């Protein structure tokens, strides 16, 4: 256990600068967007331009009295909020591959040292998986922590008589990307992130297949990715969920989908552990 945790820490340590960079980018973009938009909106109202229809964006304000709400800020700065989120998703998606390939193709072929460590090799697999999850949930938590601070900044800029109250929950849903990232219902959160974890496990298995079987491995890996995608998607699209006369009831299709998810997950973990333990040689 101790060795596994050390490996996790090692992976976190190797990614810390990129993670800090992504967090900084998120902070700068979102704080900047909130401050810039709120200040413009306040000065627009104070100068009276809002009443005269001076700015299109503000004249479309849904509030009857012209007051500002934090939800309105989030709604009007969607693009600037989404940029760091999309960049973070992209970087993490690439790093799911790099976390393995940098060990093989990095300067010192680090994988030789990892695989010769006197520990069960499955620890390497689980440490990389844990590290990826820590990066994902770390960024999500960081985004969660930013929102109350952004609301505080909004409250500091906007005079109280110019403010309308707003729910944090409603503010989050004013931006579709935030709504997807941190859904209000915990079961939606589980669904989104379990699907993401399954995708990571399948890709890990595909990478290890490729590493185990050389050139032929590329074909096997693509085949494995295809079969997994088919098994996961088939219950949803092939069993007539929305078909008027579908033979299976929706709850039965849900049960089949659940079984498929568990099966793909279990097979991917088993395959990954087996390949790294028995097949990959240095």
Partner 1 sequence: MRRYWISIVLSAFIVVGLGTYYVYGAVVDFPEYKILKVSGDVNEGSKISVQGNFSDGGGNQFLIATAEGSDYPSRRSIISQIFSGSRSWMNDQVDIRQMLNDHRSFMRGKGNFTSFYKDEEWIIYADAVLNNSFGVKPEIVLSIDTLNQTSGVVKHYETIVEDPMDYSQIFVEDVQLIGEQIHMFINQRSKGDLNGSAVEYHDYVVDMNNGTLINNARLTFGDNTKDNVELFDRSIMNTIYSASSDHAILIVYDEQKRVNDYMGIIDEHLYSYAYKTGVLTDLSDTMLKAGIDDIGEIRLDGHILTILNYEEDFIKLSRYNIDTEKVTNEDISLSAQQLGAEKIIMGTTKNNKLYILFYKNDIPKVAVLDTTNGAILYTGEVVYEGEASESKWTMNTEGRLYMQIAD
Residue 167 binding partner 1, by CB under 8 A? yes
Among 8, 114, 202, 276, binds partner 1 (CB under 8 A): 8
Q: What is the DSSP string of 79-98?
A: HHHHHHHHHHHHHHHHHHHH
In angstroms, rounded to a whole number, what is the distance separating the alpha carbons of residues 21 and 88? Answer: 10
| Helix 78-105, helix 122-157: angle, nearest 10 | 160
Residue 31 binding partner 1, by CB under 8 A? no
Q: Which is nearer to partner 1, 110 or 192 (CB)?
A: 192
Main-chain phi, psi angles of 209, to 5 degrees: -65, -45
In angstroms, rounded to a whole number, what is the distance separating the alpha carbons of residues 175 and 29? Answer: 15
Among 54, 109, 169, 223, binds partner 1 (CB under 8 A): 169
Residue 1 binding partner 1, by CB under 8 A? no
Binding part of the chain for partner 1, among 29-37, 110-118, 185-193, 259-267 by CB under 8 A, reads 185-193
Among 191, 259, 262, 263, binds partner 1 (CB under 8 A): 191
How many helices and strands (H and E) does the chain possess? 10, 0
- DSSP 8-state symbol, 153: H
Residue 2 binding partner 1, by CB under 8 A? no
Q: Is residue 202 classed as helix, strand or coil in its secondary structure?
A: helix
Residue 246 binding partner 1, by CB under 8 A? yes
Q: Which residues bind partner 1 (CB under 8 A)?
A: 5, 8-9, 12-13, 16, 61-63, 68-72, 74-75, 134, 137-138, 140-142, 144-145, 164-167, 169-171, 173-174, 182-189, 191-192, 236, 241-251, 253-254
């Amino acid at each position: 256990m101790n060795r596994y945790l050390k490996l996790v820490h090692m992976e976190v340590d190797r990614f810390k600068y990129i993670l800090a960079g992504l967090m900084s980018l998120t902070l700068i973009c979102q704080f900047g967007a909130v401050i810039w938009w709120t200040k413009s909106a306040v000065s627009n109202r104070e100068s009276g331009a809002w009443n005269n229809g001076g700015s299109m964006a503000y004249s479309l304000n849904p509030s009857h009295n012209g007051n500002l709400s934090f939800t309105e800020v989030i709604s009007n700065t969607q693009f600037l909020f989404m940029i760091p989120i999309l960049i973070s998703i992209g970087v993490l998606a690439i790093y799911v591959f790099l976390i393995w390939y940098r060990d093989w193709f990095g300067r010192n072929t680090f994988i030789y040292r990892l695989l010769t460590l006197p520990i069960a090799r499955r620890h390497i697999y689980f440490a990389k998986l844990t590290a990826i999850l820590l990066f994902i949930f770390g960024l999500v938590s960081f985004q969660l922590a930013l929102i109350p601070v952004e609301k505080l900044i909004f409250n500091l800029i906007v005079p109280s008589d110019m403010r309308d109250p707003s729910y944090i929950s409603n503010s989050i849903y004013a931006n579709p990307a935030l709504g997807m990232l941190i859904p209000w219902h915990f079961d939606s959160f589980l669904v989104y992130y379990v699907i993401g974890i399954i995708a990571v496990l399948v890709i890990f298995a595909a990478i290890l297949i490729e590493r185990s079987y050389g050139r032929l491995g590329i074909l096997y890996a693509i085949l494995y990715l295809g079969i997994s995608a088919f098994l996961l998607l088939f219950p949803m699209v092939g069993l007539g969920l929305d078909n008027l006369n579908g033979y299976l009831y929706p709850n039965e299709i849900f049960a089949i989908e659940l079984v498929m998810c568990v099966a793909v997950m279990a097979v991917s973990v088993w395959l990954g552990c087996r390949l790294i333990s028995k097949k990959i040689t240095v």
